[in-house]
């Protein structure tokens, strides 16, 4: 698992990363003066992770921040309360009070966390919430790193393998239940090649679904879109049908 391999990757070159670096100032009047760049911790780093990758997107940035000497506070998504409770338990067992901390709570707690005067804040999630996070950080001039959702079109060329195309698009669409930033949202196909590609895509609609949304907010949203039947979205550029997991994107 990446969260287990990541600490090893960081630990190996850490001493080299921490070493002061000699720098030339570029000013002729300072010739003979030694200049160096010294790396120091920023302070307290806040991390707000999403529901679709709650382990890696919480601990990967935390590992980097801790390696740099910072204190870390993690606020996982309110949609994963049991996992958050497990995080809090494991962190308490592995670190003392000077180590990282995990915060539990609903959306109001998340809003309060985003408004704190962090030395740096990292948020992964949807664009709408990302705007709110940035607005909450603005009064403190908190440096914020946002990783937001987007669109992932598949470009299908005239010389593409029709048989392989549908399967690969289905795999790209359904990876992690469709809950990744690289998930395919639509297909862009040359008009003259649309019909054979459409037939192949429709045949792939029986591709097994690797994950299910079972309850709570992430289940209610798509459930409300399908009165009596499963919804599907027509590709805006091609008419190719897309999987219902499209509606579960963050």
Q: Look-up: residue for tokens 């994107």? A: 249
Tokens encoding 130? 């990302």
CA-nearest of 163, 169, 159, 211 to 190 is 159
Distance of alpha carbon 25 from alpha carbon 12, whole angstroms: 30
Cα–Cα distances in angstroms (integers) from residue 98 to residues 35, 73, 91, 118, 141, in the given order: 33, 11, 11, 17, 25
Cβ proximity of 102 and 48 under 8 Å: no
In sequence order, the 6+-apart residues with CB closer than 8 A to the CB of 240 are: 186, 187, 189, 197, 198, 201, 234
Active site residues: 147, 181
Burial of 126 (0-12, 13-18, 19+ CB in 10 A): middle
């Amino acid at each position: 698992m990446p969260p287990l391999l990541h600490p090893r990757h960081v630990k190996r070159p850490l001493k080299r990363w921490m070493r002061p670096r000699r720098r030339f100032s570029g000013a002729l009047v300072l010739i003979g003066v030694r200049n160096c760049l010294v790396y120091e911790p920023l302070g307290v780093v806040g991390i707000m992770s999403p529901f679709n990758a709650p382990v890696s997107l919480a601990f990967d940035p935390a590992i980097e921040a801790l390696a740099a000497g910072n204190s870390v506070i993690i606020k996982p998504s309110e949609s994963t309360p049991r996992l958050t409770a497990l995080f809090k338990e494991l962190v308490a067992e592995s670190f003392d009070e000077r180590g990282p901390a995990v915060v539990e709570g609903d959306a109001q707690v998340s809003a309060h966390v985003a408004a704190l005067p962090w030395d740096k804040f990292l948020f992964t999630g949807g664009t709408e919430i990302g705007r709110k996070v940035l607005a909450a950080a603005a009064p403190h001039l908190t440096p914020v790193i946002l990783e937001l959702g987007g669109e992932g079109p598949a470009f299908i060329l005239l010389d593409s393998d029709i048989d392989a195309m549908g399967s690969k698009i289905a795999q790209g669409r359904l990876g992690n239940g469709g809950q990744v930033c690289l998930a395919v949202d639509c297909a862009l196909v040359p008009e003259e090649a649309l019909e054979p590609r459409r037939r192949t895509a429709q045949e792939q609609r029986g591709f097994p679904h690797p994950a299910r949304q079972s309850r709570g907010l992430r289940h209610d949203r798509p459930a409300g879109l399908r009165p009596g039947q499963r919804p599907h979205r027509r590709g805006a550029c091609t008419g190719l049908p897309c999987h219902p997991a499209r509606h579960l994107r963050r």
